[in-house]
Amino acid sequence: MQMMPLGLMGPGERGEIVEVGQGTPECGGCRCKEERKPGDVRVEDMGLRVGKQVEMLNNSSNLVLLKVDESRIAIDRGVAMKIKIRR
């Protein structure tokens, strides 16, 4: 089993999410309640959650574009690096 950050996937690659930004020391990710400010949207609420198949559509700028189910979701690379996938 090979785990890698979502942000490193190339366009067209697919994988399954195994971890969503938990336990990272800087805690800028998605789970830590103390860090959350009004206006933040949970990546999980938009369908990026453990067990999901994702496809990388575009990974050429500081945003990455993913396909999850039937939605296309753009996220910061910083957030993308905290999501781990398995190919």
Partner 1 sequence: MTEQTPHTANDAVSSAAPRPLVVAVAGNPNVGKSTLINAIAGTRLQVGNWPGVTVEKKEALFEHNGRKIRLVDLPGTYSLSPYTQEEIIARDYLVKLRPDLIVNVVDATNLERNLYLTVQLMELGIPVVMALNIYDEAEAKGYRFNLHGIETMLGVGVVPTSATRRSGLTELLDKVLETAAQPADHAPRILNYGDDVETAVALLGDTLRREHPALFALYPERWLLLRLMEGDERLRQEINLAQDALPEEIFHHLRRGHGEDLEALMADARYSQAAGLAREVLFKKEERRVEMTERIDRVVLNRFLGIPIFLAAMWLVFKLTFDLSKPFGDWINDMAGGPFKHWTTVLLGLVGAPDWTVSLATEGVISGVGFVLVFVPVIFMMMFFITFLEGSGYMARAAFVMDRAMHAMGLHGKSFIPLLLGFGCNVPGIYATRTLENPRDKVLTALLIPLMSCGARLPVYVLFVGAFFPNNPGTVIWSLYVLGIALAIVMGVFFKRTLFRGEAPMFIMELPPYRMPSFTSLCLHTWEKGKHFLIKAGTYILAVSIFVWFLLNLPWGVEHKKDSYLGQAGQVMAPVLSPLGFGTWQAASSLITGVIAKEIVVGTMGEIYAPKKGEQKKPEASFGEDLQEIAVSFGKAVKESASNVVSTFGVSSLAADEKEDRGPLKATIQQTFTPLSAYAFMVFVLLYMPCVVVAIAMRQEFGSWKWFGVAFAYQSALAWGMAMIVYQGGQLLGWGV
Query: Please, which of residues 10-69 interact with partner 1 by CB under 8 A?
Result: 22, 28, 31, 33, 36-47, 49-50, 57-58, 60-63, 65, 67, 69
**Residues 6 and 87 sit within 8 Å (Cβ to Cβ):** no
Q: How far apart are CA 67 and CA 53, in angstroms?
A: 9
Cβ neighbours, 10 Å, residue 12: 10
Q: Does 3 bind partner 1 (CB under 8 A)?
A: no
Site residues (vs partner 1, CB under 8 A) = 22, 28, 31, 33, 36-47, 49-50, 57-58, 60-63, 65, 67, 69-76, 78-79
